[in-house]
């Protein structure tokens, strides 16, 4: 029997997919659901869980230990709180100054502090793909369409641009057309970035959405993610396709993503990057 898994569940579909994977494997697990963040159906149907407020770190750790959790997966986005309005417990208050300093540097710096604290409590942190291997983006085309030479040049340009963004701990995505950077992701996220690109649709056609992790990112948490909504948003923005780093991104449902891409006439692919990534 594998160690009991703790699932720190944020928003979206992925936390539920991890719950389902643990259920299918008959693996014991316990979910921490965050008030105002986790969707209720993630912990429906008798799932062992507890609801907590985000800053109650000490209570969260206590609940995990009481449940017998040894391994942890952190999955799904969680909104950055207003630190001035937080009401942390004792452990959270002790950690808060370090979190605030890290948050000023960027999301990855913040997540590294959280991971380090959880590891100091004896938990082993896993990447989501360690629990559900099909979440990892593979090399190659997901659907029937593939990028042409011009698209591949835009993909290479986009990967380089996002790497530089990542070194500054800013974002994980960009849109490139004919070598020109149409948009880069910041705090607003990929969907809002694509909405901005959609405003240019009448004047600008084509382009590629590129997503990859930050170069020095803690890859067990907060990997860039795509799903069917991403495909729809990219198509609505008039893009030709989506490229992600193979092994460096999560795909919520690969078959559904491929089907949506084929239906909407865009490509989706995983790109292997070199050692200098």
Orientation of helix 190-198 relative to helix 228-236, angle to 10°: 20
| Structural domain 136-271, CATH architecture | 3-Layer(aba) Sandwich (3.40)
* pLDDT tens-digit series, residues 24-72: 999 999 999 999 999 999 999 899 999 999 989 999 999 999 999 999 9
Fold of 5-131: Rossmann fold (3.40.50)
Q: What share of the chain in percent tops pLDDT 70?
A: 97
Q: How far apart are CA 5 and CA 20, in angstroms?
A: 13
Backbone angles phi, psi at 240, to 5 degrees: -85, -25
**Closest CA relative to residue 69, chosen from 130, 125, 10:** 125
139 touches 271 (CB < 8 A)? yes
* pLDDT tens-digit series, residues 202-255: 555 689 999 999 998 999 999 999 999 999 999 999 999 999 999 999 999 999
Q: Which residues contact 96 (CB under 8 A, 6 or more apart)?
A: 55, 83, 86, 88
pLDDT at 277: 45
> Residue 84 pLDDT > 80, yes or no?
no
Annotated domain spans of the chain: 5-131, 136-271
* pLDDT tens-digit series, residues 107-116: 888 999 999 9
- Predicted TM-score (pTM) of the model is 0.90
- 3-state SS, residue 42: helix
pLDDT at 203: 56
Token pair belonging to 164: 């530089």
């Amino acid at each position: 029997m594998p160690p009991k898994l703790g699932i720190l569940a944020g928003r979206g579909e992925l936390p539920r997919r991890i719950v389902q994977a643990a259920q299918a494997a008959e693996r014991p697990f316990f979910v921490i659901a965050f008030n105002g963040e986790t969707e209720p159906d993630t912990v429906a149907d008798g799932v062992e869980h507890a609801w907590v407020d985000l800053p109650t770190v000490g209570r969260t750790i206590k609940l995990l230990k009481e449940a017998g959790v040894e391994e942890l997966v952190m999955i799904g986005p969680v909104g950055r709180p207003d630190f001035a309005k937080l009401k942390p417990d004792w452990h959270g208050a002790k950690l808060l100054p370090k979190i605030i300093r890290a948050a000023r540097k960027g999301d990855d710096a913040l997540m590294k502090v959280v991971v380090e604290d959880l590891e100091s409590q004896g938990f082993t942190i896993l990447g989501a793909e360690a629990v559900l291997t099909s979440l990892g983006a593979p090399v190659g085309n997901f659907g029937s369409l593939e990028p042409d030479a011009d698209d591949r040049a835009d993909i290479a340009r986009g990967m380089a641009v996002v790497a530089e963004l990542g070194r500054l701990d800013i974002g994980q995505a960009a849109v490139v057309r004919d070598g020109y950077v149409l948009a880069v992701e910041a705090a607003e996220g990929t969907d809002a970035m694509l909405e901005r690109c959609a405003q240019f649709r009448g004047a600008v056609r084509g382009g590629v959405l590129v997503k990859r992790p930050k170069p020095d990112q803690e890859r067990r948490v907060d990997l860039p993610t795509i799903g069917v909504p991403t495909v729809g948003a990219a198509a609505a923005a008039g893009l030709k396709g989506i490229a992600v780093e193979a092994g460096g991104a999560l795909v919520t449902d690969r078959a559904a993503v491929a089907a949506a891409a084929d239906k909407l006439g865009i490509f989706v692919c995983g790109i292997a990057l070199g050692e200098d990534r």
